[in-house]
């Protein structure tokens, strides 16, 4: 069970002031530690040294410029090899997925998948999600003082979010964004985004990613067997959609783009496992940070440039990928620290990005840090346009509700445990006067 703490308990035993931290810093620390109670403190303990060896973890890089150098140096550092992402995902997903490929084959698969993430394609996908039936979460459910977003026969999760907030109800933003992310999973695997399909898809994905731990280089044999079974059940509709060649589905589009069935299933699995938790994590944390720092009104204002800066700064502070893994291909050095073939390099993205301080969209962005949370070089996140389009869709829904000088205010919140990407399990919102 996740601990429940009142958001405005600044003077209470668990409040920010009792630990000398701002509300933003207090809650972000709480969310990170709830997800990774051992690995997160270990990474943060290395933050004052650019490069350091940490037992059981690897060579930890906490400097943004050095991290970017490692990501761009594909000659010496790879996603394939001991301690790299291939150790985690190849036993589950197979060989031909973006997460465990390098070189010409990796570049060719990225080119083939590129049209799925064009600006037009992601707009269509997000627009379709916004218009889907709100059956994703079934009828409205009262939980304490919060109304979970969604009502059978409604106009869709995000329009329903707008309507309920505007009507003065308390809604759970984390639940709404989970439904949105679940609908994306359903589209990826060729399922209609119904209530049961969304819940099953999200549970299946989280069951796999929740097994990952930084101090282990791979999953155990029982975990691999369980993950393969879960993923096979999850992607069975994708295989059927691919074979049917239905262009209305993502697997059908992959077939049209020339991907083999093996490539398409690997890509679907990779997107499901690595993409859904990012959006589910980020939007509630961004809204919480905006609330804690007094930025909510500006975040939701009709100012595209201001929103862009706030979203970018929110990504820097929350760090969707707290750590990135590379395997050393041949002897080299990182910031003067020698590394040998087979060593594991852990890029502590959370340290690199947070070195600039707390949330401040007015601060000049550090070019070494910009977009580092999405990677760099040939493995830069292919799904970034889709993630940002989903963020915009949720913020648009919140903006539509924030009328007559009212803004969403955060109520009770719970940090999620047993997740790969740190997140809120629940985050209640109501509209109040600014």
Each residue of 318-335: pLDDT tens digit? 998 889 999 999 999 999
pLDDT confidence of residue 269 = 80
Q: Give the C-alpha separation, 251 to 278, whole Å.
A: 21
Tell whether domain 47-402 is in CATH 2.40.50.100. Answer: no
Mean pLDDT of 379-406: 89
Residue 333 forms beta bridges with which residues?
A: 338
Backbone angles phi, psi at 190, to 5 degrees: 80, 20
Mean pLDDT of 380-407: 89
Q: Where are the alpha helices (DSSP H) in 114-245?
A: 119-131, 157-166, 173-189, 195-209, 221-244
pLDDT confidence of residue 275 = 67
- Whether the per-residue pLDDT at 139 is higher than 60: the answer is no
pLDDT confidence of residue 319 = 92
- Whether the per-residue pLDDT at 3 is higher than 60: the answer is no
Give me the numbers of helices (H) and strands (E) for the chain, helices first please: 16, 13
Backbone angles phi, psi at 151, to 5 degrees: -150, 130
pLDDT digits (tens, 9 = 90+) for 76-104: 999 888 888 777 777 877 766 666 677 78
Confidence category of residue 379, pLDDT binned at 50, 70, 90: confident
Question: 7 and 413 in contact (C-beta within 8 Å)?
Answer: yes
Backbone angles phi, psi at 83, to 5 degrees: 80, -5
pLDDT above 90 covers a percentage of the chain that reads 41
Residue 4 forms beta bridges with which residues?
A: 414
pLDDT digits (tens, 9 = 90+) for 343-362: 999 999 999 999 989 999 99
pLDDT digits (tens, 9 = 90+) for 168-193: 999 999 999 988 877 777 777 777 77
- Whether the per-residue pLDDT at 266 is higher than 90: the answer is no
Backbone angles phi, psi at 17, to 5 degrees: -65, -25
From the CB of residue 2, how many other CB atoms can be counted at a distance below 10 Å? 15
pLDDT confidence of residue 128 = 64
- Closest by CA to 350, choosing from 74, 68, 69, 64, is 64
- Whether the per-residue pLDDT at 270 is higher than 80: the answer is no
DSSP readout, 363-376? SPPPTTTTTGGG--
Mean pLDDT of 414-431: 92
Question: 370 and 98 in contact (C-beta within 8 Å)?
Answer: no
- Whether the per-residue pLDDT at 226 is higher than 60: the answer is yes
- Which token pair is 200? 């099953």
From the CB of residue 378, how many other CB atoms can be counted at a distance below 10 Å? 16
Arithmetic mean of pLDDT over the chain? 82
Confidence category of residue 142, pLDDT binned at 50, 70, 90: very low
Residue 171 forms beta bridges with which residues?
A: 147, 429
pLDDT digits (tens, 9 = 90+) for 208-222: 777 777 667 777 888
Most confident of 132-141, 157-166, 226-235, 377-386: 157-166
pLDDT confidence of residue 136 = 37
Q: Give the C-alpha separation, 212 to 232, whole Å.
A: 18
pLDDT confidence of residue 214 = 66
The larger pLDDT score, comparing residue 265 to residue 11, is at: 265
User: If residue 306 lies in a helix (H) or strand (E), which one and from where to where?
Assistant: helix 304-318
């Amino acid at each position: 069970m996740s601990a429940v703490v009142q958001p405005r308990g600044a003077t209470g035993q668990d409040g920010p002031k009792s630990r000398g931290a701002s509300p933003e810093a207090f809650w972000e620390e709480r969310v990170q530690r709830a997800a990774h109670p051992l690995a997160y403190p270990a990474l943060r303990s290395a933050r004052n040294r650019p490069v350091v060896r940490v037992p059981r973890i690897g060579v930890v890089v906490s400097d943004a410029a050095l991290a970017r150098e490692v990501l761009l140096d594909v000659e010496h550092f790879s996603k394939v090899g001991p301690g790299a992402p291939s150790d985690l995902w190849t036993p589950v997903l197979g060989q031909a997925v973006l997460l465990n490929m390098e070189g010409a084959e990796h570049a060719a698969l990225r080119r083939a998948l590129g049209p799925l993430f064009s600006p037009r394609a992601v707009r269509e996908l997000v627009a379709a999600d916004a218009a889907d039936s709100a059956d994703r979460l079934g009828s409205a459910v009262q939980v304490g003082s919060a109304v979970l977003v969604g009502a059978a026969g409604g106009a869709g999760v995000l329009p329903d979010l707008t309507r309920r907030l505007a009507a003065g109800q308390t809604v759970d933003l984390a639940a709404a964004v989970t439904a949105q992310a679940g609908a994306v999973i359903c589209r990826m695997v060729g399922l209609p985004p119904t209530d049961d399909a969304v819940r099953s898809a999200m549970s299946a994905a989280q069951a796999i990613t929740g097994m990952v731990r930084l101090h282990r280089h791979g999953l155990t044999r029982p975990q691999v067997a369980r993950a393969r079974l879960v993923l096979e059940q999850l992607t069975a509709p994708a295989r059927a959609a691919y074979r049917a060649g239905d262009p209305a589905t993502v697997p059908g589009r992959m077939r049209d783009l020339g991907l083999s069935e093996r490539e398409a299933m690997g890509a679907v699995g990779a997107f499901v496992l690595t993409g859904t938790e990012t959006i589910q994590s980020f939007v509630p944390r961004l809204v919480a940070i905006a609330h804690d720092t007094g930025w909510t009104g500006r975040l939701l204002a009709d100012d595209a440039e201001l929103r862009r800066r706030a979203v970018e700064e929110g990504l820097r502070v929350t760090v969707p990928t707290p750590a990135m893994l590379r395997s050393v291909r041949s002897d080299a050095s990182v910031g003067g620290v020698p590394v040998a073939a087979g060593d594991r390099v852990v890029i502590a993205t959370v340290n690199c990005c947070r070195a600039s301080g707390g949330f401040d969209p007015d601060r000049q962005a550090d070019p070494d840090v910009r977009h580092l949370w999405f990677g760099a070089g040939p493995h830069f996140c292919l799904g970034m346009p889709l993630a940002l389009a989903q963020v915009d869709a949720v913020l648009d829904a919140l903006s539509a509700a924030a009328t007559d000088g009212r803004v969403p205010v955060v109520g009770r919140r719970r940090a999620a445990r047993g997740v790969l990407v740190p997140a809120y399990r629940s985050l209640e919102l109501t509209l109040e006067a600014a």
